[in-house]
């Protein structure tokens, strides 16, 4: 039997999953690694931690599955998007810590781009907005703040990549400097209509072309690993950014299908087919996947804080010992209290796109305790998803015209309490896949597709398996009251930012 090895390199941990040829799970391994917060709104990773944890989990999954390199048909890679690494072309040594997608240090740069009228060009070419979330301003920051880096970049001595690209370069021993179309589409430098790096954007954002990787399909030949890494070479045949990989893993191949992944953040993607829909409601237009040179597009809403709100309950407030405890604690809350957490720890994402605001609690009373805080943290994810849902309904009329279910995945999706509350707040069906790690599943499928191990998309979609369906149970009056309270809390936060 041929196996597929999926690398799922995330924001707080690296995971490796070994799949059999029929895409059933054979083994898995996961390892957390440190986060660094050198200043308010700044988030960094040590690239070497990303590499060593990825290598360790791959080896651990292979040991657990008793599988050798020769048994694995291909590796697929998914990754935290927008996070950037700049490294030396000869030595592979990073010249600065990786700047993470959550990082907001370039907010002033993005504000200047908006003020000087550059955002319409950015939006027309990339489908994105001028926000610190994306890669290009982070790259420029590294080049400007590391001594001699910009000059070295101009001489071709440095390379840039998102995490997939960095791992690929390390896995192949520097033989391949490439990425896929989905990761390229998140950099602010890639024209999603022509499928190429854009010279006007490179000039505007001050990123030398010599830094850039080649861009390939999501299912393609990305070389092979060094033999010494896994006691034999393994072909690398798939790459996609984590949210696009999850879209593939959820088999959202038809226009109008929608998925939402709940990890550190929350990311909802709506397949719009071969049409790149320009959002009028502050959503992003992005590449969902690219196969055989053909691009499929999506509307995306990005929430910066979802599962990390639960981590805050655990590590910051010490209200729970494990993430799973949040369900029990939230279920004990006094439902008559209207406590709202806006978890803008690193600003607000879609549809607000405000990098300056910070988190806030509204509706506190003398009786508010740990249970109410846990309740507010979990419920905040549901309200933010509702904001994205409404924006997508406005941008894509077909979504508003019919009953659409939301396919969910990610670590937070295992919370029955949260998923039921999500169905209640959306007033929509929420379907949870049998395998919650759809990001890894999508990466494995893409690799297997290129390696002729996996079936075509339509056959894969027919094999999608439901774990549990959550149907709305909340009455309309309660839902309306809760949504009004959330809306007022967000308005209050935004008003305080303007006044401040």
Q: Are 17 and 149 contained in the same domain? A: yes
For residue 208, give both structure tokens: 């030398």
pLDDT, residue 74, reads: 97
Whether 108 contacts 159, CB under 8 Å = no
pTM given for the model: 0.86
Do 83 and 123 belong together in one domain? yes
Determine phi and psi for 453, rounding to 5 degrees. Answer: -100, -35
pLDDT of residue 282: 86
Contact between residue 119 and residue 130 where contact means Cβ atoms under 8 Å apart: yes
State the Cα–Cα distance between residues 66 and 27, nearest whole angstrom: 9
d(CA 271, CA 275): 9
Q: Is 456 helix (H, G, I), strand (E, B) or coil?
A: coil
Give residue 121's pLDDT: 95
Question: What is the per-residue pLDDT for 453?
Answer: 94
- For 236, other C-beta atoms within 10 Å of its C-beta total 27
pLDDT for position 46: 96
- Residues in the annotated binding site: 11-13, 15, 81-82, 133, 242-243, 264, 307, 311, 411
Domain boundary among 208, 243, 278: 243
pLDDT recorded at residue 400: 62
357 and 453 fall within a common domain: yes
Say what the pLDDT of residue 499 is. 56
Local structure of residue 209 (DSSP, 8 states):
G
Q: Tell me the binding residues for sn-glycerol 3-phosphate.
A: 11, 81-82, 133, 242
Question: Could you tell me the residue range of the domain that residue 234 belongs to?
Answer: 3-243
| Same domain (yes/no): 148, 277 | no
The CATH code of the domain that includes 473 is 3.30.420.40
Q: Which residues are annotated as a binding site for ATP?
A: 11-13, 264, 307, 311, 411
- Number of domain units in the chain: 2
Binding site for glycerol, residues? 81-82, 133, 242-243
The encoded tokens of residue 183 equal 């990761």
What would the two tokens of residue 354 be?
């405000």
Q: Judge if 175 and 221 occupy the same domain.
A: yes
pLDDT number for residue 269: 92
Mark whether 9 and 85 lie in a shared domain.
yes
Question: In terms of domains, do 174 and 263 share one?
Answer: no
Q: In this predicted structure, what is the pLDDT of residue 435?
A: 82
Domain match, 24 and 147 both: yes
Please give the structure tokens belonging to residue 83. Answer: 């996070």
Residues 176 and 324 in one domain: no
Could you list the residues known to form a binding site for ADP, using ranges.
Answer: 11, 15, 264, 307, 411
CA pair distance 142, 145, nearest whole angstrom: 5
Judge if 210 and 281 occupy the same domain.
no
> Cα separation of 406 and 258, whole Å?
6
500 residues of the chain, pLDDT tens digit each: 699 999 999 988 999 999 998 999 999 999 999 999 999 889 999 999 999 999 999 999 999 999 999 999 999 999 999 999 999 999 999 999 999 988 989 999 999 999 999 999 999 999 998 989 899 999 999 999 999 999 999 999 999 999 999 999 999 999 999 999 999 999 999 999 999 999 999 999 999 999 999 999 999 999 999 999 999 999 999 999 999 999 999 999 988 888 998 888 888 999 999 999 998 888 999 999 999 999 999 999 988 888 888 888 888 888 888 888 888 888 898 888 999 999 888 788 888 888 788 889 899 999 899 899 999 999 999 999 999 988 888 888 776 656 678 999 888 888 899 999 999 999 989 999 888 788 999 999 999 999 999 999 999 999 888 899 999 999 999 999 999 999 999 988 887 766 55
């Amino acid at each position: 039997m041929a196996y597929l090895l999926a690398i799922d390199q995330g924001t707080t941990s690296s995971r490796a999953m070994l799949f059999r040829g029929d895409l059933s799970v054979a083994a898995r391994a996961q390892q957390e690694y440190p986060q660094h917060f050198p200043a308010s709104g700044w988030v960094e990773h040590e690239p070497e931690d990303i590499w060593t944890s990825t290598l360790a989990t791959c080896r651990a999954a292979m040991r657990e599955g008793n599988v050798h390199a020769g048994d694995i048909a291909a590796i697929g890679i998914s990754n935290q998007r927008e996070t950037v690494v700049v490294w030396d072309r000869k030595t592979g040594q990073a010249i600065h810590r990786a700047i993470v997608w959550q990082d907001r240090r370039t907010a002033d740069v993005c504000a200047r781009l908006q003020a000087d009228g550059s955002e319409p060009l950015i939006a027309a070419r990339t489908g994105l907005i001028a926000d610190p979330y994306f890669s290009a301003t982070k790259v420029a920051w590294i080049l400007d703040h590391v001594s001699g880096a910009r000059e070295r970049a101009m001489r071709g001595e440095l390379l840039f990549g998102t995490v997939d690209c960095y791992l690929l370069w390390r896995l192949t021993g520097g033989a391949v400097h490439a990425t896929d179309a989905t990761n390229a589409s998140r950099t602010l430098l890639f024209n999603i209509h022509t499928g190429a790096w854009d010279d006007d954007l490179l000039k505007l954002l001050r990123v030398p072309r010599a830094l850039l990787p080649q861009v390939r399909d999501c299912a393609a030949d990305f070389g092979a690993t060094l033999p010494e890494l896994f006691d034999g070479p393994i072909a690398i045949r798939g790459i996609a950014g984590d949210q696009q990989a999850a879209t593939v893993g959820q088999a959202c191949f038809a226009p109008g299908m929608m998925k939402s992944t709940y990890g550190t953040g929350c990311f909802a993607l709506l397949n719009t087919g071969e049409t790149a829909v320009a959002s009028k409601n502050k959503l992003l237009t992005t590449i969902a996947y690219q196969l055989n040179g053909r691009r499929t597009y999506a509307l995306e809403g990005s929430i910066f804080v979802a599962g990390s709100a639960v981590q805050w309950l655990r590590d910051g407030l010490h209200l729970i010992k494990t993430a799973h405890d949040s369900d029990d604690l939230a279920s004990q809350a006094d439902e008559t209290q209207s406590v709202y957490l806006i978890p803008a720890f690193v600003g607000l994402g879609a549809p607000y796109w405000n990098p300056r605001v910070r988190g806030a609690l509204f509706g506190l009373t003398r009786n508010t305790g740990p249970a109410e805080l846990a309740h507010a943290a979990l419920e905040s994810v549901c309200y933010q998803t509702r904001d994205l849902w409404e924006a997508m309904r406005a941008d894509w009329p077909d979504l508003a015209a019919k009953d659409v279910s939301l396919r969910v995945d990610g670590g937070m999706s295992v919370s029955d309490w949260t998923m039921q509350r999500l169905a209640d707040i959306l007033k929509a069906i929420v379907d949870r896949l049998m395998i919650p790690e759809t990001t890894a599943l999508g990466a494995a499928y893409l690799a297997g597709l290129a390696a002729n191990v996996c079936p075509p998309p339509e056959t894969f979609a027919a094999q999608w398996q439901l774990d549990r369906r959550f149907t709305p149970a909340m009455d309309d009056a309660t839902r309306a009251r809760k949504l009004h309270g959330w809306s007022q809390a967000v308005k209050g936060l935004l008003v305080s930012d303007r006044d401040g």
